[in-house]
Amino acid sequence: MAVMESPTFWDNPEKARKTIQQLKQMNAVLKPYEELFKGSQELTTLKELSQEDESLLEEYQQEVDRLSTILEDFELKSLMSGSQDMNDALVQIKPGAGGTDACDWAEIMLRMYSRWAQRHGFGVEIQDQIDNGEGGLQSVLFKVSGNYAYGYLQGEIGVHRLVRISPFGGGDTRHTSFAAVDVIAEIDDDIDIEIKESDLEMQTFCSGGPGGQHQNKTQSGVRLIHKPTNIRAESRTERSQNKNYENALKLLKSRLYAVEEQKRMGDIEKRYDAKGEVAFGSQIRSYIMQPYTLVRDEREGIEIKTPDVKEVLDGNLDEFMNAHLRYRTQKRMNRKESA
């Protein structure tokens, strides 16, 4: 705080923003701890008073419930100890098998994650989006901003399966659709990732623009390909080719960094795109709307399911995300013990 009160604090805006971000991240851990410590002392006093005055029992129970919620959140954040867990997240959704239904499923998932982010006070910003002519999305990339956004969302990586009566068909036959989710942490600007110019291939294409005379006419869209790894990144949402280049380069660096982090951590889990086809047998979660309602995590070791599909699709994903965090932590502890 003393640094921020200095009259020269804003002389370097970039450094000042980083300092503020670091302070926010520290407060995300320290404030809940302080509140729990203070609340536990007050709870002891309230318990003693309620034993003498039964009218205070309801207030005592409300305080117990409030502190229990804070404690659970504090516990979950303590499980997110990865170097990038506190960062913003870049989320990409692509439809798989299922045709137009799969494209519609991708759009439903975008809404689901947007609602989840809204519930947690996170920001959502579309980075790249390709609409499907008959309905839904061919692809979407969006940024989720907020402390621990990546830590929570990384468990969503994989194929998601939807079973329902198709709104695009004429009958009442159940239809199965698939969409793949990839999540990477947005890296800090001060993390240096060297990309040789000779290793980089740049392609340009019509970005689509906002409509009117700019629609599908300007070559402002940029696709960058890292030739040694074939990792790609693209941006089309800006009118400026230079701006799209900057966005694509930052995304490419984030993806390259994610690959190196996986190698360093010795992560044995493969992402969905290493499994081949986005179809049957590769899903991490199933959302079944007919003939019964059920959302079920399909991963071994995560036994979470609920019949309330509508609530989940409206952004209530915490139970699934929290289960993945606990499972991931336990798995890492088991690896250390066996090493």
Q: What is the mean pLDDT of residues 57-84?
A: 84
Element (H, E) at 276: none
Task: Name the segment(s) of the chain with CATH classification 3.30.160.20.
Answer: 197-265
Instruction: Report which DSSP code applies to 188.
Output: P
Fold designation for 197-265: Double Stranded RNA Binding Domain (3.30.160)
Match 């090493």 to its residue by tokens: 339
Tens-place pLDDT, residues 100-118: 999 999 999 999 999 999 9
Q: By C-alpha distance, which of 192, 184, 266 is closest to 233?
A: 184
Q: Which of 111-125, 233-247, 257-271 has the lowest mean pLDDT?
A: 257-271
Q: Where in the chain is the domain with CATH 3.30.70.1660?
A: 89-189+268-338
Q: Please give the sequence-ordered ranges of beta strands (E in DSSP) within the chain, or none if there are none.
A: 89-95, 123-131, 137-145, 158-165, 174-185, 200-205, 221-226, 231-235, 283-288, 294-297, 305-306
Asked if pLDDT for residue 296 goes beyond 90, the answer is yes
Q: What six digits make up the tokens of 253?
A: 């660096």
Q: Which residue has the higher pLDDT, 74 or 200?
A: 200
The residue among 227, 229, 222, 228 whose CA lies nearest residue 202 is 222
Q: What is the pLDDT of residue 24?
A: 66
Q: Cα–Cα distance between 91 and 113 in angstroms, integer?
A: 9
Q: Which CATH class is domain 89-189+268-338?
A: alpha beta
Region 288-307: mean pLDDT is: 92
How far CA 103 is from CA of 79, 98, 156, 179, 296, in Å, comes to 34, 8, 18, 8, 21
Q: What percent of the chain has pLDDT over 70?
A: 79
This model's pTM is above 0.95: no
What is the per-residue DSSP string for 153-170? HGGG-EEEEEEEE-TTSS
Is the bond into 228 cis (omega within 30 degrees of 0)? no
Q: Do strands 305-306 and 294-297 pair parallel, antiparallel, or not at all (unpaired)?
A: antiparallel
Number of Cβ within 10 Å of residue 57's Cβ equals: 14
Task: Determine the pLDDT at residue 78.
Answer: 79
Is 212 exposed, middle or buried, given 0-12, 13-18 or 19+ CB atoms closer than 10 A?
A: exposed
Beta bridge partners of 159: 180, 283
Hey, what are 327's tokens? 């499972």
What is the greatest pairwise CA distance in the chain? 78
Instruction: Identify the three-state secondary structure at position 130.
Output: strand
Answer yes or no: is pLDDT of 177 > 60.
yes
Give which of 178, 176, 180 is closest to 290, Cα–Cα: 176
DSSP result, 73-117: HHHHHHH--STTTTS-EEEEEEE-SSTHHHHHHHHHHHHHHHHHH
Residues 6+ away with beta carbon under 8 Å from 276: 282
The pLDDT-based confidence of 207 (bands split at 50, 70, 90) is low
Residue 9, SS3? Answer: helix
